[in-house]
Amino acid sequence: MDKQALFLKFIDFVTAVHQTTHAFTKGAKLEDVTPVQYKMLEYVAVSQPVTLSSVADCTHMSLPNTSRELKKLIQKGLCEKVADADDRRRQLIRLSDKGQQLMNGIFGHMLSQLEGRIGTLSGEKLKEIEQALDLLHDRVFRT
Amino acid sequence: MDKQALFLKFIDFVTAVHQTTHAFTKGAKLEDVTPVQYKMLEYVAVSQPVTLSSVADCTHMSLPNTSRELKKLIQKGLCEKVADADDRRRQLIRLSDKGQQLMNGIFGHMLSQLEGRIGTLSGEKLKEIEQALDLLHDRVFRT
DNA sequence: CCCTATAATTATCATATGATAACTACAGAG
DNA sequence: CTCTGTAGTTATCATATGATAATTATAGGG
């Protein structure tokens, strides 16, 4: 197999990943949260506590816009802000209890979707999947 | 490894895929094309010729909005529309020469990025990557 | 203490996007 | 031919998003 063919397979794969994640998050209720705000919540959920700057970097947003959207998330009661004791310019951001519950629900929904796809597989197959995830993460999708 | 741990690995992997594709398309010049328009172009490039309805379905957009954005793409000279001879309600959409060149450039840029990551690997390793892509596509990210 | 860089906020503007209603044109069934 | 469903268009509105300038507060070097 040449590089060209592998590239096509790569494109196809990436498209499928995007489709799948879209399908997974679809249906999870997101009352009042815009797409950009959801991206922020997801990042905070996985990496909390985080600074505003790191949210901006990781979501590829400008600092002013990140600040604006965070304010909305705080108004909705989904995030909390605490001044960093070591550097009082910095804000440490984390999910509030309500935000944590929201994200737990969404991750739970995604988990059940994933279960639906791999729930019936043997331990053997699951091991293969795990290894494939590791391999591609290392070789192709490392960040 | 339990399902919970595999789920975390899954989340991590998906995040890495999103980051990587963002990095890949970043830097490819996109003069005058908005994100949504790019999504449309990408779909048309891979699946052309396509109907407007299928574009709407596959990009998760409403038909009116898809129609509006397609009009802009045609104005920019990136897409072409031909009435279907069999069903004159339908429009067959494809890239124009200019649009094809644009997408060739972008795919070329992505290909070179991919080369940068896997270019030095042995045929053996490439085979492993190919198999991992196939496995995950079949078992986890099938659509 | 002064200077410069960093972290974040606020305000403002232009544009992109999403939702919806009302419409035209055509296909296919009966 | 009429009726109903499908494909697409146009117009309009509200909101989300992106870009940028100006400002505040604090850290850290010298």
Residue B72 lies in a domain: yes
Based on the domain organization, do A89 and A58 belong to the same domain? yes
* pLDDT confidence bin for A1, thresholds 50/70/90: low
Task: For B3-29, write each residue's pLDDT tens digit.
Answer: 788 999 999 999 999 999 998 888 776
Based on the domain organization, do A82 and A126 belong to the same domain? no
Residue B121 lies in a domain: yes
Side-chain-side CA neighbours of B32 within 13 Å: the count stands at 9
Based on the domain organization, do A17 and A3 belong to the same domain? yes
Residue B20 lies in a domain: no
* pLDDT confidence bin for A74, thresholds 50/70/90: very high
Among A9, A131, A134, select the one facing B133 at the smallest CB separation.
A9
Residue B55 lies in a domain: yes
Q: What is the pTM of this model?
A: 0.90
Write out chain A residues lying below 8 Å of B107, CB-based: 7, 11
Inform me whether the pLDDT recorded for A41 exceeds 80: yes
Inform me whether the pLDDT recorded for A105 exceeds 80: yes
Q: Do B140 and A114 touch (CB under 8 A)?
A: yes
Q: Is the CB of A94 under 7 A from strand C?
A: no
Residue B36 lies in a domain: yes
Task: For A12-36, write each residue's pLDDT tens digit.
Answer: 999 999 999 998 888 777 778 999 9
Q: Do B141 and A20 touch (CB under 8 A)?
A: yes
Residue B34 CA and nucleotide C9 C1' are separated, in Å, by 28
Of B13, B26, B16, B20, the residue nearest B117 (C-alpha): B20
- CB contacts < 8 A, A to B, total 129
Looking at the structure of chain A, the number of domains it has is 2
Q: Is the CB of A65 under 7 A from strand D?
A: yes
- From first to last of the 143 residues of chain B, give the pLDDT tens digit: 677 889 999 999 999 999 999 988 887 767 789 999 999 999 999 999 999 999 999 999 999 999 999 999 999 999 999 987 888 878 899 999 999 999 999 999 999 999 999 988 888 999 999 999 999 999 999 98
Name the strand (E) or helix (H) holding B25.
helix B3-25
Give the sheet arrangement for strand B91-95, strand by strand.
B50-51, B91-95, B79-83
Q: Region A75-98: what's the mean pLDDT?
A: 91
Based on the domain organization, do A3 and A36 belong to the same domain? no
Q: Strands, DSSP E only, in chain B?
A: 50-51, 79-83, 91-95
Chain A 71-110 residues whose Cβ is under 7 Å from strand D: 87-89
Based on the domain organization, do A61 and A17 belong to the same domain? no
Residue A125 CA and nucleotide D17 C1' are separated, in Å, by 43
Residue B16 lies in a domain: no
Based on the domain organization, do A103 and A48 belong to the same domain? no
Residue B13 lies in a domain: no
Disruptive mutation site among B4, B140, B142 for chain A (greatest number of A CBs within 10 Å): B140
Q: Which of A61, A77, A95 is the last residue of a domain?
A: A95
pLDDT at A99: 95
Task: For A124-137, write each residue's pLDDT tens digit.
Answer: 999 999 999 999 99
Based on the domain organization, do A91 and A108 belong to the same domain? no
Residue A42: CATH number of its domain: 1.10.10.10
Based on the domain organization, do A13 and A51 belong to the same domain? no
Residue B133 lies in a domain: yes
Residue numbers of the domain that contains A67: 31-95
pLDDT at B1: 63
DSSP A62: -
